Structure 1
Amino acid sequence: MEGVDTSKKVDHDLRMFDIAANLSDESFQGIYHGKKAHEPDFEVVMNRARQYGVEKFLFSAGYIEDAVKSYDLATKSEDYFMTIGVHPCRATEVYKDEGTVETYHEKIEKTIEEHFVDKSKLVAVGECGLDYDRFHYADKDSQMAAFPFHFDMAEKYNLPMYLHSRATGLEFIDIVKKNRDKFPTGVVHSYTGDEEELKEILELDLYVGINGCSLKTEENCEIVKKIPLDRLMLETDCPYCDIRNSHFSSQYVKTKIPKVAKKKYNPEKMCKERNEPCTMIQVLEAVAGIKDVSEKEVAEAAWENTMKMFKLE
């Protein structure tokens, strides 16, 4: 998939909304692992995404400083939106400077009230949830403590939930069930769970976000087949979660996007070391191929679901 140009950009009647574009990440400032490789290229990246049919973007935030950066980026265009919350892998953030869950909750609400002048940019509470694959970032107790207050925020601001679940059995589901009356709807993004968890998510009337990490194995792709189109959303989770040649879903990818190593940075090509929103077209192609329906049908369903959930219709 790498280094092969394509003369075909997506059809103009395809429109996509990337619900997981982490554009506040340092790589879009040209910084990788603390070292600068090239100049900031946010606008270059966004323009490339538009060439491939991505029209709207959600900058998901996992802690307060990230949310402030995401808000500042979101004010650059009417097509940019953002979230605020504590990612489970950042759950220990709440205890920084001898803080507590309660004081961190207060800081988030203060940030919303004082920094977010345009409240319409904030369209969901999160990213929040549980991640049992990455206890090296945050232990289970910290994650469990940091998750519940998000439901109270969603209730207060009447916002949907932007949720994360990774290898949690049904503990994540149990917590969401107990709080389901507090929020209008939500999406479990970057879904990699099994059929049992998917069934529970759908019964809770939630949406499911799919990206490259959701499409790694044949088993993953069998799960994607079972997601109804009226519950589906698409995302890249960039700069992570690209579809790689080793992924089972790569057989369905048709659009080739040129890449180059960051050491040979060229603004006309993607950096190999990071994913970008332009690869939404590849996620779309993979999901359409797996479900054996047209790209147009998948794109429109995901677009309508996203606009509806985030109250942007």
Structure 2
Amino acid sequence: MFSGSYHGRKHHRNDILDVLKKASRHHVVDILLTGSSLDESKRTIEIINSLRQQVTKDDTLKLPELYSTVGVHPCTVLEFESAESVEQHLKELENLISEGIKSDVVRAFGEIGLDYDRLHYTPMEKQLVYFEKQLQLAAKFDLPLFLHMRSACEDFINTLKPFLDNNLLKNKNLLVHSFTGDKTQLEQLFQLEKSNPHGYKIYISINGAGLRDTSTLEILPLIPLDRLMLETDSPWCEIKRTHPSWKYLSRSPNAFYPCDYENYELVEQRSGVRELKENSVKNKKNSNNTNLTLFDFLPIPTVKSDKFDKFQHAHIFEDSPLIKSRNEPCLIGLVAQVISEVRKEDPQKIIDSAYQNSKQVFG
């Protein structure tokens, strides 16, 4: 999507640089990109290396620090069987991780795990086989695990437990990312941590997918602050108007978006923006791209993906438009705001704790 392709069709130019500049302006300091297959992991590392070179050549270019995971997502593990051999595929994965560690790009092994919500991609028994094989590979490296779990808590824990009980993983940190489970599953995961004698730690990260129903919102106060992380999982997992978490969001400025250029009212009243918005109200039915729509909570324009290249008002805004239904790293503050409101906890405490946890685990 960040290269402009949607369902195999090209909608707009590659806007990765714009997305990263926007993230930096809205307080994102580091980004961990995820690998979901061997090829995707390779491409991700190539993108990071290319962007690092651009930053080195242009000291005016302000981007977040970029790192990556390497692993094969449960929904794509059948790639092991379409490769020349399973052993060869694992060896290529191992080599990519080794090279990525040397170049200080790879900071975690994953995304690996189990997903029983989407068995139409990969049967359960195949997921279990390749989750275990990748855990065996992970045992060769001193990397935290970046784990995926959907509707598979019992098998997920049963697969992980021998590796923890026998102290097979060199790195003691495991992140269950994009958590969407209930109170029972959360308790089972922390029981796994408590029951092992080797000091392994379970972390839980939350994004819009974990804020889309009331049962998951209810478990937010139960996650210890020293185990909480935040993420966007962009371009997926945005917080939607239909989610119960939507009501906890408010327009900037706030603790998560405190700067003047994030002040919704100030930007809305700025010369050029005000006139465009007034014209948009008058010409709602006009589709000639002169209309202007701002994002609900930040004074950033929004457009449909196929209208991005035709946006005529870029000179008025420092941020490129957000694309409707495409999540971005700059929106991580919305996740933090919901969690702060639900937990009734000081925003800065949430921000600092989640960031410190992330840095402690991924560096």
- Please give the TM-score of this superposition, normalised by the length of structure 1: 0.86
> Structure 1 pair 88/156, CA: closer, same or farther in 2 (3 Å)?
same
Query: Which residues of 2 match residues 31-180 of structure 1 at below 5 A?
Result: 31-75=5-49, 76-77=51-52, 79-100=65-86, 102-113=87-98, 116=100, 118-180=102-164
Q: Distance in 1 between matches of 2:3 and 2:246?
A: 29
Q: Tell me, yes or no, if the aligned pair for 2:101 and 2:107 is still in contact at 8 Å.
A: no
Q: Tell me, yes or no, if the aligned pair for 1:233 and 1:303 is still in contact at 8 Å.
A: yes
Q: Distance in 1 between matches of 2:147 and 2:177?
A: 6
Q: Distance in 2 between matches of 1:108 and 1:67?
A: 9
Q: Tell me, yes or no, if the aligned pair for 1:209 and 1:232 is still in contact at 8 Å.
A: yes
Q: Greater shift after overlay, 90-99 or 171-180?
A: 90-99
- Could you say what secondary structure the match of 2:67 adopts? strand
* Aligned length in residues: 283
- Could you say what secondary structure the match of 2:72 adopts? coil
Structure of greater relative contact order (alpha carbons < 8 Å, 6+ residues apart): 1
- Which position in structure 2 is the counterpart of 1:309? 361
Q: Which amino acid aligns with 1:109?
A: E
Deviation at 1:58, TM superposition (A): 0.4
Structure 1 segments of 4 or more deviating over 4 A? Answer: none
Q: Tell me, yes or no, if the aligned pair for 2:114 and 2:128 is still in contact at 8 Å.
A: yes
1:50-74 C-alpha deviation (Å, 9 max, x unpaired) = 2221111001101111111111223
- Which position in structure 1 is the counterpart of 2:336? 284
Q: Greater shift after overlay, 30-39 or 118-127?
A: 118-127
Structure 1: any 5+ residue segments left out of the alignment?
1-26
Q: Distance in 1 between matches of 2:341 and 2:355?
A: 18
Deviation at 1:117, TM superposition (A): 7.3
Q: Greater shift after overlay, 65-74 or 238-247?
A: 65-74
Q: Distance in 2 between matches of 1:169 and 1:109?
A: 27
Q: Given the alignment of the two structures, is residue 195 of structure 1 paired with residue 183 of structure 2, yes or no?
A: yes
Q: Which amino acid aligns with 2:89?
A: Y
- Could you say what secondary structure the match of 2:204 adopts? strand
- Which position in structure 2 is the counterpart of 1:207? 203
1:105-135 C-alpha deviation (Å, 9 max, x unpaired) = 112012234x537442111111000000001
Structure 2: any 5+ residue segments left out of the alignment?
53-63, 194-200, 252-296, 315-319
Deviation at 1:206, TM superposition (A): 0.6
Q: Greater shift after overlay, 263-272 or 38-47?
A: 263-272
Q: Tell me, yes or no, if the aligned pair for 2:83 and 2:89 is still in contact at 8 Å.
A: no
Q: Distance in 2 between matches of 1:119 and 1:288?
A: 36
User: What CA RMSD, in Å, does the superposition of the two structures yield over aligned residues?
Assistant: 1.6
- Could you say what secondary structure the match of 2:233 adopts? coil
> Structure 1 pair 169/158, CA: closer, same or farther in 2 (3 Å)?
closer
